[in-house]
Structure 1
Amino acid sequence: MNVTNKITLLERLGAYLNGQGTDEEREELRLVKEKAFRQNGWFIPEFVDLAVGQIADNFLRRPLLEAWVAQYPGFGEPKAPKTVGIVAAGNIPLVGFHDWLTGFLSGHRIKLKLSSKDAVLLPHLIGKIAEWSPEAGELTSIQDVLKDCDAYIATGSNNSARYFEFYFSKYPHIIRRNRTSVAVLTGAETPAQLESLADDALLYFGLGCRNVTKVLVPEGYDFEPLMIAFKKYDWLMDNHKYKNNYDYNLALLLLNNAPFKTNDNLLLHENESVFSPSACSITACTATAGNSKPNWPKMLTCSAL
């Protein structure tokens, strides 16, 4: 199956995700989203819709796909197709979609191992491709155990990465470990910039590996504007999983008599770790006045869980 036909299918998938199908298809997609939320309480409708919309608008438009493929001469038409095993993550909705997309377009066969946390949405999208084109559907198989693959792509924690390295070391592989993002503030940020930082930290409850978990700030930094900006996510406290994590970490801080700040949906406290505890969080490091380099050991962690 050539790349042009695959792009046509992906373009149709993007239209489906944007609700441009029949009434029956729109209802089908709605029910699948509801099922994903029932299966994983972190996949609230707002964040599932966001993930689906971003994929449709930024991955599955024909001009974007054609421009991407054009950068790699011969892409999608290997002389000897291989089998690629993909171990998908499940921290945010459809987080494994891009790995599948690249494998699908590459011209190789895919064996996909899903995360139990995201075992509804991606199989449904792959199923739609198979429904529209049985030939394309045969290129992907979903399996509980990955065996007999020529190469592997695996995403997981630092701990699981050790096992991936052991099992996949003799094959070509890409193994992703824990990741996070850091923001550097000067105190001169506008309210709009701080609100964008709130998005970077708390979209998907901060569970994404690109969510900001550490904020570096100058000594004497006024946290009030930052805390006000994060108030836009007060509504996250309506989710019992998020609120339970917030209450748990608040209790730990109180029991340990540790200094902290809160705006009732976010906790800020001193911590040397780049990662903050539980689900979603932020950290910060202060810089000594008159010093050109930050005082790295002294850090502030803002944890929203």
Structure 2
Amino acid sequence: MKLQERINAFVKLGEFLSQFSNEVIVKKDNVEHNDTFFDGFKHQLKLTEEHNGWFTQENIRFSLQGWAESLTPDNLNTWLKPYQINTVEPKQVAIIMAGNIPLVGFHDFLSVLISGHHVLVKQSSNDKHLLPYLAKYLEFVEPEFKGTITFTEDKIEGFDAVIATGSNNTARYFEHYFKNKPSIIRNNRNSVAVLTGNESKEELKALSEDIFRYYGLGCRNVSKLFLPKNYNFDAFFEAMYHWHPIIDKAKYANNYDYNKAVYLMSEFDMLENGFLMIKEDKSYASPIATVFYEFYDSTEQLKEKLDREKQQIQCVVSNGFIENEIAFGATQKPLLWDYADSVDSVEFLLAI
């Protein structure tokens, strides 16, 4: 199968997904194999929400919209232009996926197949309904994908390389277990925002998307703020307020109540507005419904700190502060070439 044929198949998949990315699902006439797959995928969306209460229809649609917008000819060709792909000898690449947000492992899945390899997928039990169905769709629009995509719930065997994502503890296990195989091993990372106190209302409102989307469960969600001394939180809380309906979601509300009780019993100082707590803390990983903050004395010292601790950081959200920063509101809309942990997975796959 040629590269262009693989690109064409994923473009068709993007067109299929575009039907499900809006609040009202609309069946389109020009989508291939729609009569076979449309109703079935609607059922998969329902199963996904029933299986995992964090995966609301709103968050599932947001994920699908992101992939529908990414899987276009322009985006795919721009992404792949720097690489020499057609010379690849197919290898079996295992992917061990996380399950914190819907389709979180799709970029690895896409990268393996688009580079010409075969994929062996071990999914998280938290996110197991969507990708197998989409893989079947790919096999229908491009039959040569048949035999190149395998899902397993068992111990992975017979692979040439591995991409594995997990916690810091499981990452150490992965590093030991896969030490004799080419690998990309990802562990916990968090994203931060650097504020100056001069942000516009629009920027702070956009930051709320970086904090609350997917309930803050993604590594690209902002879990930590760096603030100048004597920062006034009024504008920040005002910008967050339009997310207040999030407290009506039972799983989020339970975490909010639990973490608030822990902080109160421990007599920690914090600020809260009824659905979000902010607490001064040097850690990067904050609990659900909580954002940590830390004051900085100088921007130069903060840049040195972020560079020194970059292995813990996925994204830095700011405006004119640092190279490769992410704009306010854009953390959950990565481009195809925005690689997790800044590790070029396509380059890795072409070298195995």
Structural mapping, 1:180-195, within 5 Å: 180-195=190-205
Question: What corresponds to 2:79 in structure 1?
Answer: 68
Match of 1:10 in 2: 10
Aligned: 1:206 with 2:216: yes
Give the alignment's TM-score, normalised by structure 2: 0.78
Structure 1 length-normalised TM: 0.90
Query: CA 1:291–1:77 in structure 2 vs 1: closer, same or farther (change >3 Å)?
Result: closer
1:18-33 matched pairs, under 5 angstroms: 18-19=18-19, 20=28, 21=31, 22=34, 25-33=37-45
Is 1:143 paired with 2:122?
A: no
Between the two structures, name the one with larger relative contact order (CA 8 Å, sep ≥ 6).
Answer: 2
Give, in angstroms, the shift of residue 30 of structure 1.
Answer: 2.1
Supply the distance in 1 between the matched residues of 2:10 and 2:282 (Cα, whole angstroms): 44
Unaligned runs of 5+ in 2: 20-27, 306-352
Contact 1:77 1:106 in 2 (8 A): no
Give the count of matched residue pairs. 290
The residue correspondences of 1:125-274 to structure 2 (distance < 5 A) are 125-144=134-153, 145-274=155-284
1:261-290 CA deviation, whole Å, 9 max, x = no partner? 11111001222211112x3542211135x8
CA change 1:155–1:171 in 2 (3 A) is same
The secondary structure found in structure 1 opposite 2:16 is helix
Q: Which of 46, 55, 59 lines up with 1:43 in the alignment? A: 55
Aligned twin of 1:301: none
Whether contact under 8 Å (1:213, 1:280) holds in the other structure is: no
List runs of 5+ in structure 1 lacking aligned partners: 297-305
2:59–2:102 CA contact under 8 A, matched in 1: yes
Alpha carbons of 1:52 and 1:98: their partners in 2 closer, same or farther (altered >3 Å)? same
Work out the percentage of aligned pairs sharing the same amino acid.
37
**Counterparts of 1:243 and 1:261 in 2: how far apart (Å)?**
17
Distance (whole Å) between structure 2 residues aligned to residue 174 and residue 245 of structure 1: 32
Q: Distance in 2 between matches of 1:287 and 1:103?
A: 41
2:58 aligned partner, one-letter code: E
Question: What per-residue deviation string (whole Å, max 9, x for no partner) do you get for residues 48-107 of structure 1?
Answer: 00000101102x11122123222212x1441x3211111011110001000000001111
- Which of 85, 109, 113 is 1:104 aligned to? 113
Deviations along 1:82-135, whole A, 9 cap, x unmatched?
111110111100010000000011111111100111101111111111233332
Deviations 1:156-176 (A, max 9, x none): 110000110011111110001
Query: In 1, Cα distance between the equivalents of 2:243 and 2:179?
Result: 42
2-structure distance, mates of 1:260, 1:57: 39
Across the aligned residues of Structure 1 and Structure 2, the Cα RMSD in angstroms comes to: 1.8
Question: What residue number does 1:117 align with?
Answer: 126
